[in-house]
Amino acid sequence: MSPRPRRFDEVSSGGVVVRPAEGGWEVCLIGVGGAWSLPKGLVEPGESPEETALR
């Protein structure tokens, strides 16, 4: 599946999900179109960036 074209006026929001691990930290990453990214979502109408990040 190819990624959808990115719009320049869209706003996304997310957070960095980490947990302690032996010798350091583990970070949650997702695979998107052959690249690694932090989990996030598009801000929907009537939703704050904070609500989007928690969703």
Nearest to 43 by CA among 9, 11, 6: 11
Residue 19 is part of which domain span? 13-39
Q: What is the pLDDT of residue 29?
A: 94
Question: Per the domain annotation, does 55 fall within a domain?
Answer: no
pLDDT tops 60 at residue 1: no
Question: Per the domain annotation, does 28 fall within a domain?
Answer: yes
pLDDT band at residue 3 under the 50/70/90 scheme:
low
Q: Are 32 and 21 in contact (CB under 8 A)?
A: no
Question: Per the domain annotation, does 19 fall within a domain?
Answer: yes
Overall number of domains in the chain: 1
pTM of the shown model:
0.59
pLDDT per position as a tens digit, 5-51: 777 788 889 889 999 999 999 999 999 889 999 888 899 999 999 99
Question: Per the domain annotation, does 52 fall within a domain?
Answer: no
Question: Per the domain annotation, does 35 fall within a domain?
Answer: yes
CA angle 30, 13, 41 (to 5 degrees): 55
Q: What is the pLDDT of residue 55?
A: 85
